[in-house]
Amino acid sequence: MHRVLFGFLLILPNSAAAQTPGERYKTLVKEFTTAHEAYSKRLQAAATVAEQGKLFREANPQPAFALRFLELATKHPNDPIAFKSLTWVVENAEFGPAAEKPYAQAVALLASKYADHNDAESLFERMANSPFAAAGTYLRAVFDRHSRAAVRGRAGFHLALHFKNYGDTIEQLRLQPHALKNTEVFLGQDLLKRFLDADTAGLRRQAEAALERVRKDHAFVSYVRNNKRSTLGKAADAELFELRHLVVGKTPPDLEGEDTDGKKFKLSEYRGKVVVIVFWGFW
């Protein structure tokens, strides 16, 4: 009897093992959707920011599911579902201490194995605006190694945007001390400190270096931004101009206009003086 039962157990199907990689992916997506809906209801019901932060750090299902998608990708590296699974991790990650490690692992795999992927560009926009420092790793890998020059160029441009946006976000947060307390509730003291301590001047230098390389090697590559078609050369010029002239601590471009009395003046006339000037311009 025991032998019969043992044999029966051996042939019982393991639902996860019996699934194809694609089926397993769909199952994980479905399970995550259910778990996230339940989590969202708890988050909405939380009465205070402190309660919301605690739920975000301890009950958000995304980091745990990210590990399961990572496992799927590593088990089937040559199946198209691997890239799709890693993409899921990148697209669904919410900036926080629990998500930091699986996000970095996903990006490391993307950089090492999928830098020449046909759909590499599908991740550019997301990574350019990511608060995760690791995002630049994949953009750099594609910039250096993709077989198509146009894709390399657009990867380089988005790498520059990543450095620029990352630095801008940090500096904006530094200027809002009233927001730091609530931010810490969600990120935790350690992650927030590491985020704020980043070298923003260094990030801008890296952005400039990437833009200079794009302008030198990929200037005539087509690029669409805000539904307007242009070239990477022109887009890089605009970003470099902003980095070098339109940020705090840089010399603004000169402009000529009239004051409230109709008297003409140049902005450069006030250079080195402590004054309050309200002006605007279009560059």
* Max intra-chain CA distance, the chain: 104
Name the amino acid, one letter, at 188. Answer: G
Burial of 44 (0-12, 13-18, 19+ CB in 10 A): exposed
Beta bridge partners of 265: 257
The stretch 270-275 carries a mean pLDDT of 72
Domain extent listing, the chain: 18-114, 116-250
Task: Give the separation between CA 276 and CA 283, rounded to whole angstroms.
Answer: 21
pTM across the whole model = 0.85
- Looking at this protein, which amino acid is placed at residue 184? E
pLDDT in tens, 18-67: 899 999 999 999 999 999 999 999 999 999 999 999 999 999 999 999 99
Strands, E, within 157-268: which ranges?
A: 222-225, 228-231, 256-258, 264-266
Q: What was the pLDDT predicted at 12?
A: 44
State the pairing for strand pair 222-225/256-258. unpaired
DSSP state of 265: E
The count of other CB atoms within 10 Å of the CB of residue 79 is: 16
Cα 66–chain centre separation: 16
Q: Crossing angle for the helix pair 200-217 and 232-245, nearest 10 degrees?
A: 150
CA dist 50 and 252 (Å) reads: 42
Burial 48-59 (b: 16+ CB within 10 A, else e): eeeebbebbbee
What are the pLDDT digits (tens) for 104-127? 999 999 999 999 999 999 999 999
